[in-house]
Amino acid sequence: MSWSEQVRLYYDITFSMLTSVVWMIVTALIFSKDMKFSIFILMMISILTSKYLLRKGKKVEICIGVSLIPIIVYEIFSQEIVIAIVDIIFVALISAVLLRETNENINYDRYKNIFINGISYIFIASIICSMFRPIYAEIIFRGIVIYLILMVITMRETMGYCYNIKSSKVNKIINISLISLALLTTQEFFYNIFVKVVSILYRGIEFITEFIIDVIVKIIGIPMTWVFNALQKLFTERRGALEDIFGRIDSGSKNPPNIKGLTPEMVTASPTFIFIMKVIVTIILILIVSSIIRKIIKGTNLNRDDGYTEIIEEIEQKDPGYKKVIDKIKKIFRKKGTPREEVLYKYSEFVEVANKKEIFKTYMTPRQLGNIVKIKVDNCMEVDEVTNMYNEAKFSTHIINKSYEQKVEKYVDNINKNIKK
């Protein structure tokens, strides 16, 4: 499967989920039909079958007709005749729309508008359904979550295709895993398994969190006991002012009792203290797990170029400080060359700044670097013009005048300033 076909497949799946969720809500309201994701599965079978036949050179009418056979059989034996006819017509229309778009160019802005508007459609439809059919709230929520996951993956892959930036193998595996998981959860059997797995993980995390909190409480109990004993001695003569802090004293009492009964356990056993500790421990665990996952992905994603780049960066970080000072002095007293040489030198400054921010990689062409900068950095639209000027200065025999040099200097300074933000 080619790169463009992969992106179109992502688009087809996401668009099918969008239309299926809206259609399920509409039919549930109009026909009092049970809300199931079977219409989405049947639609995907129809679309994949029709596109396969189209690649084999069959006519569009034949492709759509053959692809509708599974849904016709299913609907006739499982639905009322009116609902079956309406569902078949709906799937046929969506298949025809997606089939017609097969030969069109992949357009990121167009896809983005469709999917962003789709969120509005689902939101409005779900509000109406919640008012008249509240029993379907759970399945609607599930559909929205699945749609958002598919939308994010599709938009990221579409942007990469439009800017000619291929995903790594790790990203492809992650995308396929997330899409597979999302599609499996449309079926009740797999959804129930998923819920059980999540609940087991939740209980495991809760157990680990409580265990860590117990350990922390025991550890801090000793210094807290010492602190409380010291404070008791300090405030005993002042009639237990410390106890007011913990809300143990009646505000109307003129003679507050002393602090003798106050212990560290009163603080460590309080619900507020436990809640705060749970939040802190959970955040720490999430940071640790995410850090481990990032390192695994980074290690798996290293190719030869990446490995070489990492070694260079490590050496550069170990350079003594005086070398940086010498380099800066050399830049200040550098003898200026011809406009062509100055354009190339100024572009090298841009590459250096991009490299420090881990945007530039050794395998990138100037055009790829420009595309990455436009994605990751705001207000850098001049990067295309800088790339064109650099290519002209490096590869052409045209005369490069002073205005070229001044333009590149102005644009590069602006781009570097935005990258450093």
* pTM attached to this predicted model: 0.60
User: What would you measure as the largest C-alpha separation in the chain, in angstroms?
Assistant: 97
pLDDT tier for residue 343 given thresholds of 50, 70 and 90: confident
Q: Using pLDDT thresholds of 50, 70 and 90, give the confidence band for residue 264.
A: low
3-class DSSP string for the chain = CCHHHHHHHHHHHHHHHHHHHHHHHHHHHHHCCCCCCHHHHHHHHHHHHHHHHHHCCCCHHHHHHHHCHHHHHHHHHHCCHHHHHHHHHHHHHHHHHHHHHHHCCCCHHHHHHHHHHHHHHHHHHHHHHHHHCHHHHHHHHHHHHHHHHHHHHHHHHHHHHHCCCCCCHHHHHHHHHHHHHHHHCCCHHHHHHHHHHHHHHHHHHHHHHHHHHHHHHHHHHHHHHHHHHHHHHHHHHHCCHHHHHCCCCCCCCCCCCCCCCCCHHHHHCCHHHHHHHHHHHHHHHHHHHHHHHHHHHHHHCCCHHHHHHHHHHHHHHHCCHHHHHHHHHHHHCCCCCCHHHHHHHHHHHHHHHHHHCCCCCCCCCHHHHHHHHHHHCCCCCCHHHHHHHHHHHHHCCCCCCHHHHHHHHHHHHHHHHHHHC
| 267 vs 273: CA distance, rounded Å | 7
- 298-317 as b/e: b if 16+ CB within 10 A: eeeeeeeeeeebeeeeeeee
State the helix-helix crossing angle for 108-132 and 137-162, rounded to 10 degrees: 180
Whole-angstrom distance, CA of residue 131 vs CA of residue 76: 30
Give the mean pLDDT of 338-358: 84
More confident call, 376 vs 140: 140
SS3 string, 70-100, reads: HHHHHHHHHCCHHHHHHHHHHHHHHHHHHHH
Q: Quick one: pLDDT at residue 311?
A: 38
- Nearest alpha-carbon partner for 357 in 347, 369, 367: 369
Q: End-to-end CA distance of the chain: give it in Å, rounded.
A: 40
Q: Return the pLDDT at 238.
A: 57
Residue 258: predicted pLDDT? 46
With CA atoms as reference, report the closest residue to 273 among 219, 209, 212, 213: 213
The winner for highest mean pLDDT among 241-245, 286-290, 304-308, 364-368 is 364-368
Q: Tell me how far apart the alpha carbons of residues 254 and 63 are, in angstroms, rounded to a whole number.
A: 90
pLDDT higher than threshold 90 for residue 15: yes
Q: Residue 25 and residue 183: Cα distance in Å, rounded?
A: 19
Name the residue among 59, 251, 24, 244 with its Cα closest to residue 147. Answer: 24
Q: Is the confidence at residue 270, as pLDDT, over 80? A: no
The CA-based angle 417-157-381, given to 5 degrees, is: 25
Residue 198 has pLDDT above 80, yes or no: yes
94-147, pLDDT tens digit by residue?
988 888 888 788 888 888 899 999 999 898 988 888 888 888 888 889 899 999
Among 344, 416, 411, smallest CA distance to 373 is for 416
* pLDDT top residue among 349 and 242: 349
**Contact status, residue 66 vs residue 47, Cβ threshold 8 Å:** no
Every domain of the chain and the residues it spans = 3-186, 198-300, 335-420
CA 404 to each of CA 157, 215, 284, 320: distance values in angstroms, whole numbers, following the listed order: 36, 67, 52, 36
Virtual CA dihedral for 271, 273, 277, 278, nearest 10 degrees?
Answer: 10
pLDDT band of residue 89 (cuts 50, 70, 90) is: very high
Q: What are the b/e assignments for 130-169, b being 16+ CB within 10 Å? A: eeeeeebeebbebbbebbbbbbebbbebbbbbbeeeebee
Residue with tokens 């597979």: 180
Q: Which two tokens stand for residue 389?
A: 């000027």
